[in-house]
Structure 1
């Protein structure tokens, strides 16, 4: 589905009060087209509907008409510039940004993050955020890993019992 069709569906979802669905569609678009400032701005608007100023600040960071209190909320929630750089989820050089303001803001954030990291950083050199964007080392991932391990052990146990049973029938 193309950008325009997805944006139409976002508007339909919002009109029907399906804000979470609209947000999810926009998050998918932002992940696929991180350099599209219009998608970022629309996602910031949807986060405003949620009453989440830190997320609105995150997604409007590159906009000249961003709300300073939202950017401040984003920076307060994520004081580490390396984490902010990861969460902005830009890919490619900042020169590819559509506006001079966005290019300047991206370059500024990259310089701050590089200073904090003690080494030069480039866009895309950190892992892109997942849907649980702020959190890493999620307990769900750990539990899923243990669940797969347990399922594998159970499979091997049952396969062993089955093999023994077949061998008894044959002897």
Structure 2
């Protein structure tokens, strides 16, 4: 479904007071394109409207309209700076506004200080479907090796008997 169609459904859901459905739809869009700051801002606004400051801070962290209370709630919900950075991955910092960029820079510096290594100000690219397919095939092969070994062992024992 096209982004415009999903956003139209989100607007319809919100008009009817169905915030849960709107959040689900917006979360799907955010997962598909984590760097879309407009989607993040809309998701933060819905969470803000429902009173969920931690999630509003999470989704609004990289936008200019996040409040200090929302950012503080997000930071309390994920104490470690590394965890916060990981939650925000997939967004390239060059597209951020001045407040969000400064906030993100401070966060990456705190995360680097936690572990003694610098955190680059570059986005962690989300996995592609090809990466997931390769990982799945590797896991399948790793899981198949013991099964094949047992089948081979049973076959050899039957030959010997």
TM-score band, normalised by the shorter chain? 0.5 to 0.7
Supply the RMSD in Å over aligned alpha carbons: 2.2
CA deviations 1:98-126 (Å, max 9, x no partner) are 43333333222222212212223343289
Structure 1 gaps of 5+ residues are: 128-171
Count of residues in Structure 1 that have an aligned counterpart in Structure 2: 125
Distance in structure 2 (CA, Å) of the matches to 1:44 and 1:92: 15
Distance in structure 2 (CA, Å) of the matches to 1:28 and 1:47: 15
CA deviations 1:140-163 (Å, max 9, x no partner) are xxxxxxxxxxxxxxxxxxxxxxxx
Contact 2:35 2:92 in 1 (8 A): no
TM-score (norm 1): 0.64
TM-score (norm 2): 0.68
Using a 3 Å threshold, how does the CA distance of structure 1 residues 92 and 12 change in structure 2: closer, same or farther?
closer
In the alignment, structure 1 residue 84 sits paired with structure 2 residue 84: yes
| 1:5 alignment partner in structure 2 | 5
Contact 1:86 1:126 in 2 (8 A): no
| 1:102 alignment partner in structure 2 | 100
- Cα displacement (A) at 1:17: 2.1
CA deviations 1:33-88 (Å, max 9, x no partner) are 21111111110111123321111111111222221111111112222101111122
Structure 2 gaps of 5+ residues are: 128-161
| 2:17 alignment partner in structure 1 | 17
| 2:52 alignment partner in structure 1 | 52
